[in-house]
Amino acid sequence: MNWMKNMFGVEKPIIAMCHLQPMPGDPAYQSGSTESVVEMARRDLDALQRGGVDGIMFSNEFSLPYLTKVEAVTVGSMAYVIGRLKNEISIPYGVNCLWDPIASLDLAAATGGRFIREIISGVYASDYGLWDTDAGKTARHRAVIGAQDVKMLYNIVPEAAQYLTSRDIGAIAKSTEFNCKPDALCVSGLTAGSATDTQILKIVKESAKNTPVLCNTGCNIDNIGLQLSVADGAVCATTFKVDGIFENAVDYSRVKAFMNKVKDIRKDL
């Protein structure tokens, strides 16, 4: 677990999402609005960093509905936005090219991202259709492109999906740890902003004893103490938005208050 402490410099790091607005190729993209995508990302990045988060993860969150095999235009657009912001990033950052681990690794290698979060293992019935993965291919691709140092965060409870056959989450965590050697395991709720079940977090934590476990959705100022009493860190987004609404911009005051609470929690570790 030392890699997280080494990368972020703290125990139980908070990785904040920087959600990118619709980009070229996305259904909701407005022609000619790429520069506004950059500016909105810049504003959110500034609020998150000033608020004190420990890491940033750039994602094409508003590319809905997502693809499991991402098109080149999305990778190129995300690389353009991140490249425009790179000199302003002062904390460790990663990327999430929804929902394609190969594209995410390519984007990380191109932009200097230090980690990815994706659905890397398992077969699911999902809102996006049958969702198949190939963990071995993804691991080999990381090696081929020279991205061995890019950490892979495995989401083993994916949003809007479930395993094609019934499997106990403890067994999934244990076998994924053994077979895939993930750098971390992420546990999610049903959708972005939906609370993660603390009991499921506990089961995953007890089953994968040598792998960091992150609470992946639904953390807020009221439950973060409970979630961090189990998890090794958290990925946060909606709670940082104006009025706690997914579609809104990041609210600096909400970030600052949340991170002050997290710092108080860390004092008792």
d(CA 194, CA 210): 27
What percent of the chain shows pLDDT beyond 70?
A: 98
Superfamily of domain 2-262, CATH level 4: FMN-linked oxidoreductases (3.20.20.390)
Has residue 259 got a pLDDT over 60? yes
At 197 the pLDDT is 87
Between 192 and 257, residue with greater pLDDT = 257
At 160 the pLDDT is 85
At 230 the pLDDT is 96
Q: Which SS3 state, helix, strand or coil, does residue 116 take?
A: strand
Has residue 1 got a pLDDT over 80? no
Q: Mean pLDDT, to the nearest integer, of 2-9?
A: 96
Give residue-wise pLDDT tens across range 161-219.
Answer: 889 988 999 999 999 999 999 999 999 875 555 678 899 999 999 999 999 999 999 99
Give residue-wise pLDDT tens across range 68-102.
Answer: 999 999 999 999 999 999 999 999 999 999 999 99
At 190 the pLDDT is 59
At 195 the pLDDT is 76
Asked whether the beta carbons of 91 and 56 are under 8 A apart, the reply is yes
At 174 the pLDDT is 97
What sign has the CA pseudo-torsion 59, 160, 228, 122? negative
Mean pLDDT (the chain) is: 95
d(CA 59, CA 95): 6
Give residue-wise pLDDT tens across range 111-147.
Answer: 999 999 999 999 999 998 999 999 999 999 999 999 9
At 189 the pLDDT is 75
| Burial per residue of 90-109, b for 16 or more beta-carbon CB atoms within 10 angstroms, e otherwise | ebbbbbbbbbbbbbbbbbbb
At 191 the pLDDT is 55
Distances from the Cα of 118 to the Cαs of 14, 51, 98, 101, 124, in angstroms?
Answer: 17, 26, 7, 6, 13
Q: Among 3, 4, 56, 12, which Cα is nearest to 234's?
A: 12
